[in-house]
Amino acid sequence: MVHAQFTSNVPRSASVSRHLDSVASLPRLLHSLHDPNSVLSLSADADHIFTGSQCFDISVWDKKSFTYKTSLVGHTGSILALEYAEDKKWLFSSSGDSSVRIWSTTALTPIYVLTPYLETGAGDLFSLAWSPTLQTIYIGCQNTSLQWFDFGKNIDSRKAHKFFDSYPQFERRPADINAMNGIMTSPMTIVDSDGCVQHASAPSPRGFLQVPASNVIDSAHYGYVYCMALLPSTGEVSDDSPLPVDGSTQLVTGSGDEAVKLWDCSSSGLSLLHTFECCHGAVLSIVVHGETIYAGCQDGYIKVWDLEMKTLVREIIVQECVDVLSLSMMHNDLYSCSANGKVQRWSSSFDCTATWSAHNGIVLSSIITRNGPDQFCLISGANDGYINIWDIAPPVKIQHETACHIASSDDRTINDTMDYALSKFVSIPSVSSDPSHREDCRQAAIWLKKCLSQLGANSTLLSTDEGVNPLVLATFRGSQGKHATPRPRVLFYGHYDVISAPPEGWSSDPFLLSGRNGYFYGRGVTDNKGPILAAACAAAELLGRRQLELDLVFLIEGEEETGSNGFGEAVRRHKDAIGHIDAILVSNSTWIAEEPPCITYGLRGVVHSTLEISSSAPDLHSGVEGGAAAEPMLDMVNLLAKLTDDNRRVTIPKFYDHVRPQTQDETQLYSLLSTITQRPASSLSSRWREPSLTVHNIEVSGPKNSTVIPGKITASVSIRIVPDQDLDTIVNSLTSHIKSSFKNLNSPNKLEVSIDHTADWWLGNLDDPWFKALEGAIRDEWGVDPLRIREGGSIPSVPYLEKEFDCHALHLPLGQSSDQAHLPNERISLSNLRRGKSVIERFLLSVANTIPNTTI
């Protein structure tokens, strides 16, 4: 067994989907704390639960015994937000009294009072976010401003406050930071008619601070700034990386103007990066996880945004017209709290996995905190006066979300890195044809972007059409080398999506990389995840040796297995970001046999069409209407029969007129390949260089039993085309021929013809210096001349990329004929994977030094 350790440390499924039939029981109510007032805000540290209400005080509860401990006194307005700063052991509280107070969570005493710029003119302070990296507190205000205070810069340079730092009026002295107005260590309490505790005075803090005018963005939104969150997210239940790759901090804010804004945070302040338009009412709550923003809206929607691509990923409808007032995140699980008193749990695939009535009122706030070494709880607060504590379990940790650290070990060879990365890549079931795996595809793109970054590339995600999986763009930049001219730029094209893998027929879990007898087994290992990582590791190794003297640009799509939807439009839209390209390298097919190695130089094109014949009548009974009705099935049978003749040749007029004749060199090649494969040369020729027509299926309406005349018949028909057939001409000829044949039937039924997908043929240039360099690299690695082969299948993106970038494409297959791509037990040879990486290294070295400048 080879590398069997990969089967022991990856979960059976790394899908973000949680199967609804195996959902755990609803969270258990551990305890309830009663407060006679509406609970507007919550926070917690290791020992305490802090609750803020509309009656001015912050209640402190013992986290282990669930008993009331004390109150933090000083605000004169509702406690709208609480933020715990673990690094400082501080609690920030903001209020309707237009102040932020800072408390020691160890001594439970006040430290500072922070007033915003314009003081009460800022209005209610709805939201807070603390950045431990920048030592800065950010404040969202009712007057639509964003304000911040840097405790590293401003703490020692505060100015006297006209109220807090004033002397008694009779002394007629100007304000002074040493005045400490209103010092009183034993506050007098009064209870009003609503049960709110009123304090005549409060213990004085250590000092009084004010946001400077320079730390304000007026009209940051066109509405109240209700909520905010920092990226990366912090806290005891966050599994985000401590900092993004570039070390930046970003702030996300939500407002009554129905917008979410993304801000770059630095020591010099805030700068707007992007605005997301939610268009579903005020944004009342926000939480972030990884590269994803979740925004809870006024009308019962949660908008899910991808930060990298700045695109909407999903709309979650919690309950229409019921406000989503609080969101909390537990690793991959999202908890939404609504105005109807309900809490719902959502998986990373956006399935609702739990719903329960948490309160007899409006749930206004929630947090998730630890309740022990391996215990977690969701705390919810509502206007029913209760703080409920729910026992929750974290979801099974998704390996691929945090497994991008593939190159951290100094003693790991590049082959070890490639094998390890492949185990993580395969574990993501990025099945593009299945809507339930849509989020898995996005996570695969995110994982691959991080993987390529760690290998040394500059990586990003490129947006596509809504509902279409993103592209991964990554560039390994080489040194200038010996040339004064620009570096050559090679584009490696591949795809991270895979076809479905039902477990029947597999000897091991298809989404768990298994090593057996010199092969890796798993869906996607040969098509196309293994070759992608082989090329990436080749570039990384050359980069590490300072021998990469060209740019290798990766363009990896996520829709190849479903027809490359939106690929062409996305490439055109992002062509400037991709840059100039001199040659295209593809590795997405197999050899003709187990050995020797091969190089592919041709692909057939394809036209997929759907034919539909329907009658004006519904499904009929054959015993009643048989013989009287013009049956659509008989029309379809006659129509399909007219597509080919008795010799199985396609009968479309002039179909074969432009098929390129076979050359003498090709005849000799097919004779050689026939000897190696033990197949007739005519069979190889038919599969590779001759066009064909296939009827794939026929579907009928109705119950499909033998007494029914179906009212509608649908058939799928495809044509494979070859050089020099013109794609558009073939499409038009096929449509015209079908319609003409149907017209000759004189049928009263109706025919519809649709062209569902097309791809052009591709033929490489065997005399091109790029082709010669790749062929030579294969020869040097294996010690034999590679076989020149063609493929009967189609890769739509290859001829498209050639035309778009006006350069030649090259195709290096790494799989063997027995690799079972698209079938159970898909596999790839470790030898082929590693030697394929070496071939790519040789090729990159060769073209950087030998391709003439005229081709660059």
Which has the minimum average pLDDT: 203-217, 582-596, 620-634, 838-852? 620-634
Whether pLDDT at 714 is above 80: yes
Beta bridge partners of 44: 49
Whether the domain at 20-392 and the domain at 411-593+765-855 fall into the same CATH topology: no
Mean pLDDT of 65-80: 95
Whether pLDDT at 715 is above 70: yes
- CATH number 2.130.10.10 is the correct assignment for the domain at 20-392: yes
Compute the distance between CA of residue 804 and CA of residue 282 in angstroms, rounded to an integer. 43
Per DSSP, the residues of 324-363 read EEEEEEETTEEEEEETTSEEEEE-TT--EEEEEE--SS-E
The pLDDT-based confidence of 421 (bands split at 50, 70, 90) is: very high
560 labelled catalytic: yes
From 97, 308, 401, 497, the catalytic residue: 497
What values do phi and psi take at 60, rounded to 5? -115, 125
Q: Tell the CATH topology of 411-593+765-855.
A: Aminopeptidase (3.40.630)
Mean pLDDT of 162-167: 59
pLDDT per position as a tens digit, 25-48: 789 999 999 988 999 999 999 999
Beta bridge partners of 317: 301
Degrees, nearest 5: CA angle 803-452-837: 75
pLDDT per position as a tens digit, 521-532: 999 999 999 999
Which has the minimum average pLDDT: 160-174, 316-330, 400-414? 400-414
What values do phi and psi take at 268, rounded to 5? -90, -5
Tell me the CB-side half-sphere exposure of residue 621, using CA atoms within 13 A.
2
Question: Smallest Cα–Cα separation from 835: which of 816, 812, 817, 814?
Answer: 814
The pLDDT-based confidence of 1 (bands split at 50, 70, 90) is: very low
Whether pLDDT at 11 is above 50: no
Whether pLDDT at 184 is above 50: no
Mean pLDDT of 58-78: 95
Domain ranges of the chain: 20-392, 411-593+765-855, 605-656+691-759
First to last CA, the chain: 46
pLDDT per position as a tens digit, 218-262: 999 999 999 999 998 766 677 665 545 456 899 999 999 999 999
With 0.85 as the threshold, say if the pTM is over it.
no
Q: The tokens of 212 are what?
A: 């400077």
Whether pLDDT at 407 is above 80: no
Beta bridge partners of 252: 229, 262
Mean pLDDT estimate for the chain: 88
- CATH number 3.30.70.360 is the correct assignment for the domain at 605-656+691-759: yes
Q: What SS3 class is residue 208? A: strand
Question: Smallest Cα–Cα separation from 89: which of 46, 150, 60?
Answer: 46
Q: What Rg do the C-alpha atoms of the chain give, in angstroms?
A: 33
pLDDT per position as a tens digit, 425-442: 999 999 999 998 999 999
Which has the minimum average pLDDT: 18-22, 53-57, 322-326, 579-583? 18-22
497 labelled catalytic: yes
Which has the minimum average pLDDT: 319-328, 339-348, 475-484? 475-484
Task: Give residue 19's pLDDT.
Answer: 47
Pairing of the two strands 109-115 and 207-210: parallel
Within its chain, how far is the Cα of 688 from the centroid? 37
From 323, 560, 781, 826, the catalytic residue: 560
Task: Give residue 705's pLDDT.
Answer: 82
Whether pLDDT at 2 is above 70: no
Q: What SS3 class is residue 65? A: coil
- Which is more confident, 730 or 55? 730
Question: Smallest Cα–Cα separation from 427: which of 455, 394, 401?
Answer: 401
